[in-house]
Chain A
Amino acid sequence: MKKEKKMKLSLPEEELMNSGHLACQGCGATLAMRYVLKALGQKVALCIPACCWSVIDGPFPYSSLDVPIFHCAFETAAVSASGVKAGLEMVGDTETTVVAWAGDGGTFDIGIQALSGVAERNDDIIYVCYDNEAYMNTGIQRSSATPYGAWTTTTPVKHFKDRPKKDMEAIMAAHRIPYIATASIGYPEDLFRKTKKAKEIKGTRFLHIYAPCPTGWKSRPEDTIKLARMVVQNATFPLYEIEWGEKYTLNIKLKEKKPIADYLKIQGRFRHLTEKEIASMQEEVDKKWQRLLSLVNSK
């Protein structure tokens, strides 16, 4: 072999997630966990409600993670974490970072009440939503995070999802919590930095991580990272931070915003869309993007 050279690792080498887990090939949710744990380190406790991750981790008496997990009820991730945090503090552990780790269904839909309560009280937890844009655990049903136009088993192609994805960041911003960030597994260093930053803040911190799902999106497993990059570059899922519900910062500036068509084309869930429908979706993305730019520039 060639000359001595160091392997370049842009993230810490230590792994808190082990091989042998039960995720499908090319699962984005799994990478989200791997990166977040790299940033948080071992002194964390996770609350995971029903979602793919309650399967990925592995069945009793096993776990794929080297950190403790409370597998909690579907709708309770946020407040379970508040409870764990309060409990740990009362038994003298003030250091452990408590993380609620939920899917989009557990966040946008059934868990939104508990999450809103936690955010309104500004309980000291990190809430991570890994977003695969549907209920995957139960077999790809629509959630309110499913984007307009997408096929799911409850939005068949003849009646595809005809409402836009819920704007969760706006909802969280309305709670005036200290930190909100969007991230994508296509940008691990950005996700790593944001998780580190979140760790140092007290109060409710909300990370929304875009995590492609080859099984549910009918995409090729090897395209997972590509999709997670394209979604950012075409501004469908821009990367930004919001502090105290007011200060917006855009993290990845787009010199040239890519059209969404290429991104849609490599996902089976959008295959039925006509040119016209894609054009109107493009218009929506453009409008949303402009709205975000004006929020970023308003301060």
Chain B
Amino acid sequence: MKKVIMGNHALSYGAMLGRAQVISAYPITPQTQVVELLSEMCADKTLDAKFIKVESEHSAMAACLGASLAGARTFTATSSQGLTLMHELLHWASGGRLPVVMGNINRAMAPGWSIWSDQNDSLSQRDTGWIQFYCCSNQEVLDTVIQAFKVSEKLLIPSMVVLDAFSLSHTYEVVDVPEQEKVDAYLPPFKPQIKITPDEPHAFGGLTSPEHYFELRYKLQKDMEKAPALIEETGKEYEKMFGRYLGLVDEYCCDDADIILITSGTVGSTARVAAEELRQEGIRAGNLRIKAFRPFPFETVRNIVKGAEKIAVVDRNISYGHHGMFYEEVKSALYGHNDSLPVFGFIAGLGGRDITPSTFKEITNYALKKKKPEEEIIWIGVKR
């Protein structure tokens, strides 16, 4: 059924169609509509789930972990300050192999208080052992939540479905809301082999000496490495059933591109508009939108950029004292494989500053003019 819904509601519908059994969340702008709709769905039994209305995001994640360990499918959603408040528990989720699925609305970190989009909240959680998907449309948000349950539960690794504040969270788009029976056929119920139950008592997460800790983390990484293939496989399966492919990346005119603009999130659509216009001006530009940030799709990225002459990575985030975080990743993907390809790192749009097609033109012109990057960070749009 086609519906015009906001990005936040796309998250709620994803959780509903995924038949989340325990939901626990705490409101924060710009995520509030996610929990409001889910509360209604639980109240009117559209969704047969327990909604634990906690006193903080920290408790929201803790409740999800407990419920997940008991064998229930769990969902939460948050943003920015809320996500970073959860930080300790994000490690608990992945280390405990609890496949919680969480929506995160990208919002800049305080101070000063900002409710506008940038990616420092979710990207500063990158080493917590969560799978991270960055979405570009409300449709993709809904579809990805359903896929995320499947991927997470197969690997026993939690997933974060990320969308931009306002440009997705509060933007209404036409979304095809799939039928419940079809989603049920795609996503079987969560039936973990091991869970907390008095029938088979185990103590989970106890003191772990150096004799064993290393192997546990080795296994987590090994399973994380299985995620790219599983994401592609479940994405193809999704395409077969629902007509929409869900992959690791999304490319636009990269085959013959001289310059590839690498982006994530909604900025991808803007980059596409810019690439189209640039092509009309005779510049062969393409856009590679990275959807799965963790695990990072090294091979896919390497293959796509093979023929390009230049790469421009645009980050709406910063690792202070280093670079934009997608820039770091792209460079590390190419290192030792394609060392002569110049990769330019741009930082734009922090704290919700607009990124427009002309931003991308400025970026393209800069990259085309220079032989190789002369600055560690090329700032776009800072009033200097």
Contacts and interface: CB of A to CB of B under 8 A. Distances in A.
Contact of B203 (A63, A84, A116, A123): A63
Contact of B202 (A43, A68, A80, A87): A68
A104 interface: no
Interface residues on B, range: 35 or more
A86 B196 contact: no
Contact of B207 (A55, A73, A88): A55
Taking each of B62, B66, B202, B204, which has the highest tally of chain A beta carbons within 10 Å of its own beta carbon?
B66
B318 interface: no
Interface in A39-94: 42-45, 47, 54-55, 57-63, 65-73, 75-76, 79-91, 93
A69 B56 contact: no
Nearest to B62: A76
A164 interface: no
A116 B58 CA distance: 13
Interface in B173-203: 195-198, 200-203
Nearest to B51: A86
B282 interface: no
Interface residues of A, number: 47
Given A57-B203, A63-B202, A72-B65, A117 B59 contact: yes
Interface stretch (B68-76, B117-125, B255-263): B68-76
Contact of A93 (B24, B69, B197): B197
Contacts of B196: 45, 68, 70, 84, 88
Contacts of A67: 198, 201
A82 B23 CA distance: 12
Contact of A117 (B56, B69, B198): B56
B72 A86 contact: yes
B22 interface: yes
Given A63-B202, A70-B196, A70-B205, A84 B59 contact: no
Contacts of A65: 201, 203
A249 interface: no
B67 interface: yes
A113 interface: yes
A96 interface: yes
A218 interface: no
Contacts, number: 171
B45 to A, nearest CB: 14
A16 B196 CA distance: 17
B58 A76 contact: yes
A76 B64 CA distance: 11
Nearest to B24: A83
A121 interface: yes
A43 B64 CA distance: 22
A88 B208 CA distance: 26
A295 interface: no
Nearest to A45: B196
B253 interface: no
Contact of B197 (A68, A85, A113, A117): A68
Contacts of A61: 212
Interface string B317-360: 00000000000000000000000000000000000000000000
Interface of B: 21-22, 24, 49-50, 52-56, 58-59, 62-72, 74, 88-89, 92, 195-198, 200-209, 212
9 contacts: A63-B201, A63-B203, A76-B65, A80-B62, A82-B66, A87-B69, A88-B196, A89-B50, A114-B58
Interface of A: 42-45, 47, 54-55, 57-63, 65-73, 75-76, 79-91, 93, 96, 113-114, 116-117, 120-121, 123
